[in-house]
Amino acid sequence: MQQTLSVSRQVVIIGAGVMGRGIAMVAAAAGHPVCVYDANGRASVQAVETIHQHWQRQADKGKLSVADVARLGERLSRAEQLEQLAEAGLVIEAIVEDLAAKQALFCQLEQIVAADCLLATNTSSLSITAIAAAMAAPQRLVGMHFFNPAPAMRLVEIVRGLATEADVLEQVSATARAWGKETVLVRSSPGFIVNRIARPFYLESLRCLQQGLADCATLDRLLQQAGGFRMGPFALMDLIGLDVNLAVHRAIWQAMCFDPRYTPLWIQQEMVAAGWLGRKSGRGYYVYPQVEPAVVEPLPEPCPDWEQVAFNLVQPVAAVLAQRLQQAGVPVVGGHDTASDWLFRLGTAHVYLSDGRPAARREQVDRHPCLLLDQAVDFQHVSLLAAQSSPRLSAPDRQALEAVLGEAGIRLCHLPDAAGLPVLRTVAMLVNEAADVLQQGLASTEDIDRAMCLGLNYPQGPLAWGRRLGYGWLAQVLRHLADYHGDGHYRIAGWLQQQAFSSLSSPAEVL
């Protein structure tokens, strides 16, 4: 079988919704004749009209020529009956996420299309194996999961069911790459790569909200400014639709046999029950149209005598903070305490990176008051960090420590004391989930990291992020979170636990 579908072969898109229209545009732009079919005939008419209008707008903006629009238009057609699809070289299904409906459709298609026609489903949540199980030739079916908007998003997850033949997988992968997409290969499993690994991005902030640690706007700011994520979780859920997001959570939770790692939270169900679905309903975690409040950060108190402030330069984050202070013209007193992980201290007050323990517990163990800082994707440039104070940290000492960080250009967002801070909890659980996907042999390290960066614009792939922080250290963080919460949510992936046996060092790098 040839590796790439010839551009002379017709591509059929079944399902004329937003995703179906987007995939049709991608295939037409690659040179294929494209046929759109929808069980609702009017929907296919509207889809073709909408696609033509989109191309015309592109021409009006100078992004397409008149000749381009004409050529694209000649490639696009629609069908009124499934029987008209007999000449298809590739069929991509993008109908409603219903197992029975997809099974019935592919059983019909098997009787209509030629034996060499490739059959693909764009499902984002259903098992490829389960869909194919109803077919006479289940080896023909492959997952071809595009991301919305399909013309703009570069990623396509190529999903292999238990019965999918290797040559089918290879040809569909090669075809997607010929269309200008980047592909990752994953075995059929709940959520594939992206939707599964992304669960903690939402769940950790939802848990922080439900636990009363911060409000939605604060958590979004921290995940964006310190975590480096393109959007905060609550703004993103509002964009996706809270009903859609909850449905994905439930589907993965059920498919994973109700594993507590994926348990939806009651606050999600309450929002959906109220009809507060996000942007599309005018209200979700935010009210729309959204008015961005002016954020006024208080200026830190004047810094104390710098000779009283000592930095533990053996810690990479401390070295970065010291460098930022030196660049601001502040003299830095440094030392190298290899026996402890404090970053800097002022008298008896110490500053640490959070390791998943509450500040009160850290104070109890180390026997001095402390301030805990959250993680950041880039400590060289971060300007906002979450922080927690231990019970015996006095207000003057806290203000003085805050002033030190203020001189380095970092403002603090103080949260109630609890186990872990938002960015640390989120990153630790993203790495943990990616480790499980890797251990289960569902996808490669490279494909896991590429999928999360391309599909969701993460600042770094989770496994690369974990390697930078130290897998063993993150396993220790998760153990602290699990000890505190005791609900099974923070169970450590076996692969990550194995790394803990080889290294329990503190974060290895921050640059």
Give the per-residue pLDDT at 13. 98
Give the per-residue pLDDT at 309. 85
Is 242 part of a structural domain of the chain? yes
45 with 181, same domain? Answer: yes
CA atoms of 30 and 155, how far apart (whole Å): 16
CA atoms of 191 and 254, how far apart (whole Å): 11
Is 491 part of a structural domain of the chain? no
Is 322 part of a structural domain of the chain? yes
333 with 359, same domain? Answer: yes
What CATH number does the domain containing 28 carry? 3.40.50.720
Q: At 89, give phi and psi (nearest 5°).
A: -100, -25
Is 428 part of a structural domain of the chain? no
270 with 357, same domain? Answer: no
Is 440 part of a structural domain of the chain? no
Average of per-residue pLDDT values in the chain: 93
DSSP state of 288: S
Domain boundary among 359, 394, 414: 414
Higher pLDDT, 291 or 426: 426
Instruction: Kindly state the average pLDDT of the residues 357-371.
Output: 96
Q: What is the pTM of this model?
A: 0.93
Alpha carbon distances (Å) from 449 to 128, 328, 440, 471, 482: 22, 36, 16, 15, 25
224 with 363, same domain? Answer: no
CA atoms of 495 and 431, how far apart (whole Å): 11
169 with 201, same domain? Answer: no
| Contact predicate 451/193, CB 8 Å | yes
Tell me the per-residue pLDDT of 179-220, one tens digit each, with 9 for 90 and over: 999 999 999 999 999 999 999 999 999 999 999 999 999 999
Tell me the per-residue pLDDT of 450-486, one tens digit each, with 9 for 90 and over: 999 999 999 999 999 999 999 999 999 999 999 999 9
Domain total for the chain?
3
Q: Is 52 a catalytic residue?
A: no
Give the per-residue pLDDT at 291. 62
Instruction: Kindly state the average pLDDT of the residues 28-41.
Output: 97
Residue 151 has pLDDT above 60, yes or no: yes
| Paired strand residues for 312 | 335
Residue 507 has pLDDT above 70, yes or no: no
168 with 23, same domain? Answer: yes
Residue 510 has pLDDT above 60, yes or no: no
Give the per-residue pLDDT at 76. 97
Question: Strand, helix or coil at 4?
Answer: coil
27 with 169, same domain? Answer: yes
Cα dihedral sign, 267-270-276-277: positive
DSSP run (H or E) holding 349: strand 349-353
160 with 90, same domain? Answer: yes
**Vertex 411: Cα angle to 405 and 414 (nearest 5):** 105
Tell me the per-residue pLDDT of 407-443, one tens digit each, with 9 for 90 and over: 999 999 999 999 999 999 999 999 999 999 999 999 9
What CATH number does the domain containing 358 carry? 3.30.750.190
Classify residue 258 as left (phi > 0), alpha (psi -120 to 50) or beta.
Answer: left
Percent of the chain with pLDDT over 70: 95
Per the structure, the complete domain to which residue 380 belongs is given by 306-414
Is 73 part of a structural domain of the chain? yes
**184-209 burial, b for 16+ CB within 10 Å, e for fewer?**
bbbbbbbbbbbbbbbbbbbbbbbbbb
CA atoms of 125 and 99, how far apart (whole Å): 10
Higher pLDDT, 105 or 291: 105
Give the per-residue pLDDT at 418. 96
Structure-derived torsion over alpha carbons of residues 501, 502, 506, 508, reported in degrees to the nearest 10: -150
The β-bridge relationship of strands 349-353 and 88-93 is unpaired
What CATH number does the domain containing 208 carry? 1.10.1040.50
Helices (H), 408-421: none
Give the per-residue pLDDT at 338. 81
129 with 224, same domain? Answer: no
DSSP 195-238: HHHTHHHHHHHHHHHHTTS--HHHHHHHHHHTT--SS-HHHHHH
Instruction: Kindly state the average pLDDT of the residues 305-320.
Output: 87
Residue 292 has pLDDT above 60, yes or no: yes
Residue 296 pLDDT grade (very low, low, confident, very high; cuts 50, 70, 90): low
Residue 282 has pLDDT above 80, yes or no: yes
Instruction: Kindly state the average pLDDT of the residues 340-369.
Output: 94
Residue 299 has pLDDT above 90, yes or no: no
Q: How many residues does the chain have?
A: 511
Alpha carbon distances (Å) from 23 to 146, 148, 232: 8, 9, 27
Is 295 part of a structural domain of the chain? no
156 with 55, same domain? Answer: yes
Domain boundary among 188, 223, 258: 188
Q: 197 is written with which tokens?
A: 């690994």
Domain boundary among 239, 264, 281: 281
| Contact predicate 404/354, CB 8 Å | no
Instruction: Kindly state the average pLDDT of the residues 214-229.
Output: 97
Residue 301 pLDDT grade (very low, low, confident, very high; cuts 50, 70, 90): low
223 with 341, same domain? Answer: no
Is 261 part of a structural domain of the chain? yes
Cis peptide leading into residue 391 (ω within 30°)? no
Residue 511 has pLDDT above 50, yes or no: no
Alpha carbon distances (Å) from 202 to 261, 419, 494: 12, 18, 23
Catalytic residue among 32, 145, 249, 489: 145
46 with 70, same domain? Answer: yes
Instruction: Kindly state the average pLDDT of the residues 113-139.
Output: 97
